[in-house]
Amino acid sequence: MRIDMNKKVLVAFAASVLSAGMSAQSVYPGQHHGKMKIETVAPVSVASFDLKDVRLLPSRFRDNMLRDSAWMVSLDVNRLLHSFRTNAGVFAGREGGYMTVKKLGGWESLDCELRGHTTGHLLSAFGLMYAATGSEIFKLKGDSLVNGLEEVQKALKGGYLSAYPEELIHRNMQGKGVWAPWYTLHKLFSGLIDQYLYADNRTALEVVTRMGDWAYNKLKPLSEETRRLMIRNEFGGVNESFYNLYAITGEERYQWLAEYFYHNDVIDPLKEQRDDLGTKHTNTFIPKVLAEARHYELTQNETSRKLSEYFWHAMIDHHTYAPGCSSDKEHFFDPKKFSQHLTGYTGETCCTYNMLKLSRHLFCWTGDSSIADYYERALYNHILGQQDPETGMVAYFLPLLSGSHKLYSTKENSFWCCVGSGFENHAKYGEAIYYHNDQGIYVNLFIPSQVNWREKGLTLSQETNFPANETTQLSIRR
């Protein structure tokens, strides 16, 4: 069957062709059959396909993915493990001898307190890229990283795993100056979970549960006063990872950890539907809501749903620039003064990366086309253009000041946060093109691709050169 469409709208195909009921869905994104002990209990309108069932066909998106994957593969595993091994006193040897490792620069320098975050992002990105392409090179790179990290974890003892000493966590607990140790650990938690979910790496699951146990033992005895002091510091989406670890293992101590990082000062105003964003650090804020979204999915807590939806609308209606990005110099500002915030430092890419994540959750709950419209706007205007088509390097900001220019990373001496999330951005375009429910299939993005709907035994192919042309052509094969 071939269908031509010339209107950019959500399309649900005829139920007569594709009808059948929905099974229990996990919306973290994709279904990951058999890997979740705690399934989503919240009602779901639509579900995404697993990334491994979607393949990109030639397009600018696929070009970005290929440049991203070439960069990822060029980064030597021993270099990515070097700061971890140094922290643990473990050294990589060749036939028992000493091996010199050329050190990475930028935020991966040995004196940078965020060191190791890129390795976490790459664990995710290798998993995503393996699912998106089926190419063994990404599986091998991910496996090598996980094996190296397991060795480091054993040497550090007690389940702790990081590229910096535990002392940074202690400083955080005491309210002393330190960059963001839990933020950095979150990248490892998330990366190891993704290695399990997307690349079926069982060792990664063992390593990350030991990290979770370490965190539980560390935080359980602390006072409420210490907790509140500690979580004032940026901790990324570590609570979202704990919810995911709880969903995978069914172990309630990980749910306890997720709730431990509930940030009262930030989330309580959202419960009251109050936009209290002020001049807060934007990318510190968004992942806290991602955890609330996950909380709703696993417990059907209505308060978490309402505040997540309120926040999404507050962001899109009041705090988002035309291209779909947010933040000026990484912070919120008075939305009545937008014109004063067209600077060279607008639109931190990590903020859009996280807003797209939140949008995927909300779209699964509601199937609301306005969420899909935002997704498309931000993906085309910001994420697709984050990467330099000449070199494959990526930008931190999307500058909106007239006459300003994008500043791209270097290959081995930047490793900003947006480089880390950037590795993931260009590996997972396939995640949000198609959704499905018992009424049919949704084509949310006009991106040349093919989706294999296993339960129905059919393949849908999409050919388009949108936005140059307004049409797309869909072919269905049983």
Q: Report which of 244, 184, 185 is spatially closest to residue 211, judged by C-alpha positions.
A: 185
Rounded to a whole number of angstroms, the minimum distance from the CB of residue 418 to Zn ion is 4
CB closer to Zn ion out of 418 and 451: 418
| SS3 at position 281 | strand
Determine the Cα–Cα distance for residues 43 and 24; give it in Å rounded to an integer.
Answer: 10
For residue 322, what is the DSSP state? T
CB closer to Zn ion out of 128 and 152: 128
Rounded to a whole number of angstroms, the minimum distance from the CB of residue 348 to Zn ion is 5
Rounded to a whole number of angstroms, the minimum distance from the CB of residue 409 to Zn ion is 11
Determine the Cα–Cα distance for residues 66 and 440; give it in Å rounded to an integer.
Answer: 31
CB closer to Zn ion out of 292 and 348: 348
Q: Which residues of 190-221 are buried (b: 16+ CB within 10 A; e: fewer)?
A: bbbbbbbbbbebeebbebbbbbbbbbbebbee
CB closer to Zn ion out of 121 and 305: 121
Cβ atoms within 10 A of the Cβ of 241, count?
Answer: 31
Distances (CA, A) of 290 to 19, 41, 44, 308, 426: 32, 17, 17, 8, 20
- Binding residues (CB under 5 A) for Zn ion: these are 348, 350, 417-418
| SS3 at position 326 | strand
CB closer to Zn ion out of 189 and 434: 189
Rounded to a whole number of angstroms, the minimum distance from the CB of residue 234 to Zn ion is 11
Rounded to a whole number of angstroms, the minimum distance from the CB of residue 353 to Zn ion is 8
Determine the Cα–Cα distance for residues 319 and 440; give it in Å rounded to an integer.
Answer: 34
Determine contact, residues 9/370, Cβ cutoff 8 Å: no
Q: 434-437 and 440-443 as β-strands: parallel, antiparallel, unpaired?
A: antiparallel
Determine the Cα–Cα distance for residues 127 and 117; give it in Å rounded to an integer.
Answer: 16
For residue 222, what is the DSSP state? -
Determine the Cα–Cα distance for residues 3 and 5; give it in Å rounded to an integer.
Answer: 7
CB closer to Zn ion out of 114 and 248: 114
Rounded to a whole number of angstroms, the minimum distance from the CB of residue 226 to Zn ion is 28
Position with the least CB separation from Zn ion: 350
Rounded to a whole number of angstroms, the minimum distance from the CB of residue 283 to Zn ion is 6
CB closer to Zn ion out of 240 and 348: 348
Task: Determine which helix (DSSP H) or strand (DSSP E) holds 449, and give its type and residue range.
Answer: strand 449-453
Rounded to a whole number of angstroms, the minimum distance from the CB of residue 107 to Zn ion is 10
CB closer to Zn ion out of 350 and 371: 350
CB closer to Zn ion out of 81 and 350: 350
CA angle 332, 335, 337 (to 5 degrees): 105
Cβ atoms within 10 A of the Cβ of 112, count?
Answer: 19
CB closer to Zn ion out of 31 and 414: 414
Q: Report which of 261, 229, 222 is spatially closest to residue 242, judged by C-alpha positions.
A: 261
Rounded to a whole number of angstroms, the minimum distance from the CB of residue 419 to Zn ion is 8
Rounded to a whole number of angstroms, the minimum distance from the CB of residue 188 to Zn ion is 17
